[in-house]
Structure 1
């Protein structure tokens, strides 16, 4: 069994690999080629975090489990993979960096399909660990000339903007959520429980990625956006059950169920339409899905010439 550390994954993962892996994961999910139950969640009794257990089975290839724990602004995650036929353990991967890049890769895959090809201004809400990968990977799939970071913590926003600018992605900081009026693409990766920008301020033709709120009682988008947008999901069933950005406006009548078109994977493969025209406001809701983790982890383990630690696991298929 191979062991991949954070350092190894930082060395191995590339933007194209992250985007392409999520694209294939979304397609497999929409076709039923990967089985992913709704994740289990355990809230910490102190209210400061949550533990997720996210299993998945990729037919004919691997099955695995991702476990991620959060506490305040901290998180830790691992992915364990097995071969489907022999049940041989394939690898144990540290999954903090992998989570960052699978999230950014999924948002970039949706952006590559749904955002206008001439999109040049990207507004990112949040300055935490997911904001950087999302900014980098969206810039990988669209000709972004200006990235605007909006965060409640100005020092973190300024640090991220400086880092992105040093990498060649022109970035700046704003404290005004209404700056979305200048955006071609908006991405939210916050811990907010209530909407973070005014949906009415968006221009026609804007694409939005919602990647933060993950419980029915939290949301990042308001009812004005719910009334305007055409929506695709990483997993429609999971989003309709767990995503407050859909659950709340559906319950309140602001969102027409007919505008939730379905899985992004079906659109990526052509079974479902993507953007209709240059004026449509498109929205991708990402809860995060074990399909992405498992596919990216399997891709990393299958890289040729992989030089990482290995160890033998004793016992038969019954764990004896």
Structure 2
């Protein structure tokens, strides 16, 4: 038995036997490519089939809307109708760092859709959960952007935003840290922020503390600095503890030519310049029997003991002769603390 044409229009058995008597087909406007052409088999049959198809169309349209609402369908949107997330997770990077993505999408098309939600305030607009760089690239290229539209609460948006970036591992340490601080400032709970970033409570606390110790203006001016992690940013925070260092740092970021540097170069330049800021000197006296015997001076690079020879002429020599024993005792204590 010959197989029917399973990819073409359907015929009844009479039409199969006599193709010249086959019903005439009319093209109908498809609904998401789900519609099929109708066949005519008399007034009553045609009317009945029309009602059935109208009902089927309505059901399929309803299914399409539900899929769209649950993020199961990819649609094309005008990029100019889409706003960025209400909590940015990215910092301005190097000039031209979007060029590679633009070239890739121009050559291969947008392979991965972005996730957006209907704008909570402005009708007809959308807000990005993730895919900011893809959206920026499409705006450069022109044309529609492929997107999944999903109704998200603020909490769901920031969790989706953070988890997508974690999965793609394309945010730098300071971007993740600054994002955490911004979320907390917005009033999100620590549980939501931990879910968004995929970190535990202790790690999140360290991230927020570090970000809060750095001026926002400085973080934004340096940018993502992908080559520098937690240790180096903590070191930079330490260099900023002196008020004059903060003032100098903010002066440097506004200097001509600073923004033209790569983000890593901006970080290195700031750190190098802050290391040259003079530190305050602290000094105190060690007394014995009411007499000032030793003056103790501490700077960033030195810890100095000055012995008052007029008060105790031989005390300095006494300490000097025992330096080897003091050093051995110092090492023993460090070893015991580590044990």
Question: TM-score normalised to the size of structure 2?
Answer: 0.26
- By percentage of residues, which structure has more helix? 2
Higher strand share: 1
TM-score with structure 1 length normalisation?
A: 0.27
Which of these two proteins has the greater Rg computed from alpha carbons?
A: 2
Instruction: Report which structure shows greater RCO (CA 8 Å, sep ≥6).
Output: 1
